Amino acid sequence: MPKRYWLLKTEPDAYSIDDLQRDKTTCWDGVRNYQARNFMRDQMQVGDDVFIYHSNAQPTGIAGLAKVSKAGYADSTALDPKDVHFDPKATKDNPIWMRVDVAFEKKLGRVVTLEEIKAEKKLATMLLVQRGQRLSVQPVEAGHFAMILKMAGQG
DNA sequence: GCCAACGTTGGC
DNA sequence: GCCAACGTTGGC
């Protein structure tokens, strides 16, 4: 499978690029959307490049880079009644939800903001800027990925 | 905090 | 299978 590129949303109040830098790697769990689950289950591969996107942030935008370090596997938080992401329908045999592990790569020299992305015509087809689009795990085209790195001064 | 847009649930 | 109600996301 060719290398793919992804964007993962996170609220930095809950988990930021700085947290990932400190932790080195993290389990990207708690995703409870089937489309996002399917990307993690079927398409994300070790070595794929990932943008870490800060939502509900000041500013909102792409804050750093990571790599997939473990491909999709069962998200056990769905089985834990004490976990906020507990799903009573999940079982050990059918965990329903998946997660991947991601490893910190680098923090961008500056956040490439949602505002800038919206203003750049070449990025108009990014999923991120489609009206009402809320996917928290989404694919990014290679060209868009490179463009954003360039905007961050890391091209 | 507001609220538009979306996904999911559940009654029928 | 329809669709209203509800919960969540996420920009502002």
- Summarised one tens digit per residue, pLDDT across range A70-89 is 999 999 999 988 888 888 88
Q: Stated in angstroms, how far is A19 CA from C12 C1'? A: 26
What average pLDDT does the segment A102-128 reach? 95
Contact in structure between A112 and A59 (CB atoms under 8 Å): no
Look up the domain containing A27 and give its range. Answer: 5-151
Nearest protein residue to C12's C1' (by CA)?
A56
By C1' distance from the Cα of A33, the closest nucleotide is B7
Q: Stated in angstroms, how far is A144 CA from B2 C1'? A: 32
Q: Stated in angstroms, how far is A119 CA from B7 C1'? A: 28
- Summarised one tens digit per residue, pLDDT across range A14-62 is 999 999 999 999 999 999 999 999 999 999 999 999 999 999 999 999 9
Provide the number of structural domains found in chain A.
Answer: 1
CATH number for the domain harbouring residue A32:
3.10.590.10
* Strand C–CB A130 distance below 7 A: no
Report which of A72, A59, A66 is spatially closest to residue A111, judged by C-alpha positions. A59
Q: Stated in angstroms, how far is A84 CA from B11 C1'? A: 28
Instruction: Quote the pLDDT of residue A88.
Output: 86
* Strand C–CB A135 distance below 7 A: yes
**Of A25 and A155, more confident:** A25
Q: Stated in angstroms, how far is A127 CA from C5 C1'? A: 28
A 5-44: CB within 7 Å of strand C: 9, 32
Instruction: Quote the pLDDT of residue A155.
Output: 64
Percentage of chain A exceeding pLDDT 70: 99
Percentage of chain A exceeding pLDDT 90: 82
Q: Stated in angstroms, how far is A150 CA from C1 C1'? A: 49
A111-119: list long-range contacts, CB under 8 Å, 24+ apart.
A111/A54, A111/A59, A111/A61, A111/A62, A111/A63, A112/A61, A112/A62, A112/A148, A112/A151, A112/A152, A113/A59, A113/A60, A113/A61, A114/A59, A114/A60, A114/A61, A115/A59, A115/A61, A116/A61, A116/A151, A117/A61, A117/A62, A117/A148
**Per-residue pLDDT band at A140 (split at 50, 70, 90):** very high
- Please give the structure tokens belonging to residue A39: 């990307």
- Residue A2, pLDDT > 90, answer no
